Structure 1
Amino acid sequence: MEPKEILKSLNEDLKKAVEHTLREFSSLHTGKATPAMLDGVKVHAYGSTVSMKEVAAVTTPDARTIMVQPWDKSVIQDIEKAIQEANLGLNPVVDGAILRVPVPELTGERRQELAKTAGSMAEEGRVRVRQGRRDALDLLKSAKNDGLPEDDFKRAEKDVQKAHDDAIAEINEHLSSKEEELKKV
């Protein structure tokens, strides 16, 4: 494999790792309601497990409430149960054909817990980035053994390390802003 191909593949992997970490961060609620808070909730309906988006429209009419409107009213109890079992600290209230999910005010203890969770999510992202770097370096070493010149190998190795450092810095930057967001609210 050519160094350019290896770097292109690495950059795609690192981008995916950072995006995954950001999606994980969006699931942490900071006291402000967002539809993304329910993205990870799986509903047992119609004899299988489906995502929330497949069975309902999720909106936020205000900063403290998430509104879930099922496509089919017969699954409203299943959605309510799924939200309760997701351990998000949310208690949905059935209001006719919709579910209202009030987002509680964050306590200091809950903020610290969420900050720890954000830290572990960031660490998972950093591990993925390091794995990408390791895989890219292995491919470069293999290319070197197949005749890649030493100068090209060293240059590509520096490029891999720079891409790794940039991805780690981006994750750390987002972690810092998420922690600040958790402190403010």
Structure 2
Amino acid sequence: MEEIELVLDMAKDTMERALKHTQIELSKIRAGRASAQMLDGIQVEYYGAPTPLSQVSSISTPDARTIAIKPFERKLINDIERAIINSNVGLSPANDGEIIRLNIPPLTEERRRDLVKKAKAEIEVARVNIRKVRQEANEELKKIQKDGGSEDEVKKAEDRVQKMTDSYIAKAEQLMADKEKDIMQV
């Protein structure tokens, strides 16, 4: 039945989006190495409008412990510096008038454990979201059955939803394992 296929496709798309969101959130958790993604979400006041940092400057990582930010317009350097300080990313900008440098301090063992906990919390959010999608899909399938759908077809579809859920939760677990390995690596 195409109604059932539609429910399954929607569930798969939503689970995929939940996983992508988790990947983005995990990329924001720094693992002691410099990464331009660490600055995602920082907004700079640009001609009266908040603008993402990446749209008003070029961001590079000259080495594993440094992020260099070169504004497209020189007058923005102080605004960028202020935005970084106010963003609470925990980095102190060094401004030489042309380029802002952010030195990434090495992580302590305690800080690494805290970051792993933060990553585990993100994975838990992903698990909850994936299970919520499963629940919503199963409710839709029950409605289809109530409206005259085949009980066998609905049962098979529910089994497919469960397999899909297990698969996406396993992918989330793999993301966690990779991130934990990345964070704990000295």
State TM-score, norm by structure 1: 0.95
| SS of the residue 1:90 aligns to | coil
How far apart are residue 59 of structure 1 and its match?
1.0
Query: Gapped runs of 5+ residues in structure 1?
Result: none
Over the matched positions of the two proteins, sequence identity in percent amounts to 39
Partner of 1:54: 55
1:16-165 pair list within 5 angstroms: 16-165=17-166
Cross-structure match for 1:171: 172
Q: Distance in 1 between matches of 2:112 and 2:88?
A: 15
* Paired positions, count: 185
Cα deviation 1:43-81 (Å, max 9, x = unaligned): 233222221112111111111111111122222112112
Which stretch shows the higher mean deviation, 45-54 or 108-117? 45-54
Using structure 2 for the length normalisation, give the TM-score.
0.94
Q: How many Å separate the matches in 2 of 1:55 and 1:123? A: 34
Deviations 1:95-133 (A, max 9, x none): 221111111110112111111111111111112111211
Structure 2: gaps of 5 or more residues: none
CA distance in 2, matches of 1:112, 1:44: 35
CA RMSD of aligned residues (A): 1.3
Q: Does the aligned pair in 2 maintain the 1:27–1:40 contact within 8 Å?
A: no
The runs of at least 4 consecutive aligned structure 1 residues that moved more than 4 Å come to none
1:88 Cα deviation after fit? 1.9
Distance in 1 separating the partners of 2:49 and 2:174: 39
Q: Which amino acid aligns with 1:124?
A: V
How far did residue 85 of structure 1 move? 2.1
The letter for the 1-side match of 2:174 is E
Whether the aligned pair in 1 keeps the contact of 2:77 and 2:97 (CA below 8 Å) is: no
